[in-house]
């Protein structure tokens, strides 16, 4: 959803070259963000089994372990992503202005990866907690936040690819940080 919304606004308001840059940088961030899916899927299975055995305290500890594992591992990978984004984009064929757009967009998304990983994790854990609708609403809220902020940051304020990336970052805060309070 983030890629589609960012792509729609960037292509129509910034240009084709900027859209190409989004399409180069976004998959790189998704590969790292997939750690949240991985830890959420495996972690929710382990937490679910532990809850089924009736050990709430152990399940809570497992949940905390998976949450911290995601934050630490994705943070480390995000730092590496920031460092190696330019050479990776070059390997993918970016050069000149396309490379500049890809790096500017991608580095902001790298900073947002820990919250994105949490958002991915919480989708599985909400199902385990028997609250799948809550996970759905956090996702809808995050998606709507991205759309509204893309209108403002890219469309009205003219912030270009950086605006699209910042809008995505803020929307990932909605999907990844607000569930922590639940």
Distance CA(83)–CA(4), nearest Å, equals: 26
100-119 as b/e, with b when 16 or more CB fall inside 10 Å?
A: bbbbbbbbbbbbbbbbbbbb
For the segment 83-88, the average pLDDT, to the nearest whole number, is 96
Taking 90 as the threshold, does the pLDDT of residue 100 lie above it?
Answer: yes
Which pair of structure tokens corresponds to residue 26?
């976004």
Distance CA(153)–CA(46), nearest Å, equals: 41
Query: 69-80, pLDDT tens digit by residue?
Result: 999 999 999 999
**47 Cβ contact partners less than 8 Å away, ≥ 6 residues apart:** 59, 62, 63, 66, 125, 128
The gap from C-alpha 19 to its chain's centroid, in whole angstroms, comes to 18
Query: 145-158, pLDDT tens digit by residue?
Result: 999 999 999 999 99
- Average pLDDT score over the chain: 94
* pLDDT confidence bin for 1, thresholds 50/70/90: confident
């Amino acid at each position: 959803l983030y890629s589609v919304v960012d792509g729609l606004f960037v292509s129509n308001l910034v240009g084709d070259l900027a859209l190409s840059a989004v399409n180069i940088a976004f998959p790189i961030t998704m590969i790292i963000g997939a750690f949240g899916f991985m830890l959420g899927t495996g972690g929710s299975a382990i937490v679910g089994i532990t809850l089924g055995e009736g050990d709430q305290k152990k399940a809570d500890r497992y949940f905390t372990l998976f949450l911290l594992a995601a934050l630490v591992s994705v943070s480390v990978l995000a730092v590496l992503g920031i460092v190696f984004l330019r050479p990776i984009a070059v390997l993918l064929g970016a050069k000149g202005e396309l490379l500049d757009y890809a790096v500017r967009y991608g580095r902001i998304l790298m900073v947002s990866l820990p919250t994105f990983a949490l958002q991915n994790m919480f989708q599985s854990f909400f199902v385990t907690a028997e609250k799948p609708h809550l996970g759905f609403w956090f996702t809808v809220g995050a998606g709507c936040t991205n759309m509204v902020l893309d209108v403002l940051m890219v469309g009205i304020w003219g912030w270009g690819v950086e605006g699209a990336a910042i809008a995505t970052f803020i929307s990932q805060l909605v999907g990844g940080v607000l569930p922590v309070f639940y």
